[in-house]
Structure 1
Amino acid sequence: MTERDTADPTITSPPPPPAATDVPATEPVGEEAPCGSQVDATTIDDAIAQIAPPMPGVNWVRGETNAGTCSLLIFVALHTEGGTGSSPNQLLLFRGGEFLGTGTACNLSYQMITGASDDQIDVRYRYIVADEPNATPQGEVNVAYRWNGSGIDMVGELPEAVTDGEC
């Protein structure tokens, strides 16, 4: 194995997209948005400020994102600062430089982005089954957040074991 083969597989965020002055006010009708210019760091920070923190006195940190790509539907995964796999996560969704909202109304644990395209973000949520340890959840559900032409639809359902009946 090479050093690259044994490197830490942690996903890192790409560099931030261009400054807000380079972002069009709205997405051109019938045209693709300029590559990599849909969401800037200020817009992401403003969106984070609109949602509750993961827990009192703890902030969100940015995780995986496709901001800076040519995708029209942009996501930014949020993780609990200093958290573990079972700590709260959230998913921010953007299109045309505008914050559309979060993937779910509540913060969920064990969130993993499994795919992204121009109009869909695929997410796997894991959950604890019975009395298994937090470190190895066996429950799993896959959902997609899909652009429907005017908003986002969740394709699939989250079982109560994922949401604790909160969202």
Structure 2
Amino acid sequence: MSEVDVAVAGLERLREDLEWRVSEAGGPTVAGVSWAHAIVPEGTVSTPDHVLLFCDGRFVGTATAEPRPYTRVVAASGDTVTVEYRWIVGDEPLAAPAGSGKVRYQVTADGVTPLNPPPWSETELS
């Protein structure tokens, strides 16, 4: 079993019957940083997902403590991975979230450090 498979299997499930699966992955960069995007295949467009981060092939953490919906990795270079987040604003439909922002994460053997604050408000629903 690969380090990615072990890390994905170790994620807390959203529900007991829903398993995480890797939908895409990238890296490693020159600094040895790589990532994997874990989703619930049975989910909907608004089902939360996780971005897992690795340094030199070793799992060092997730981008956020809790999974977030509408997440995608938009760049990875050196020791930094940039993740775009989207969220629902007001009464808009689930398929068209207007909230949008990016967070850069520094990934090292010691763990994951966000280089920007979360773009969503703590009062926004995930």
Tell me if TM exceeds 0.5: yes
2:60 pairs with 1:91: no
The alignment yields a C-alpha RMSD, in angstroms, of 2.0
Aligned partners of 1:163, 1:148: CA distance in 2, in Å? 30
Q: Identify unmatched segments of 5+ residues in structure 1.
A: 1-40
Give the match for residue 110 of structure 1. Answer: 70
| Distance of 2:102 and 2:22 partners within structure 1 | 21
**Kindly, what percent of the aligned residue pairs are identical?**
30
Higher strand share: 2
Matched letter for residue 108 of structure 1:
R
Question: Which protein is bigger by CA-based radius of gyration?
Answer: 1
Deviation at 1:107, TM superposition (A): 0.8
CA-CA distance at 1:112 after TM superposition:
1.2
In structure 1, give the amino acid aligned to 2:7: A
- Taking structure 1 as the reference length, the TM-score comes to 0.66
Match status 1:50 vs 2:10:
yes
**Quick one: which amino acid aligns to residue 100 of structure 1?**
V
TM-score relative to the length of structure 2: 0.86
Unaligned runs of 5+ in 2: none
Q: Whose RCO is larger (CA < 8 A, sep 6+)?
A: 2
Equivalent position to 2:25, from 50, 62, 65 = 65
Structure ranking higher in helix proportion: 1
> Any idea what SS the aligned residue of 1:45 has?
helix
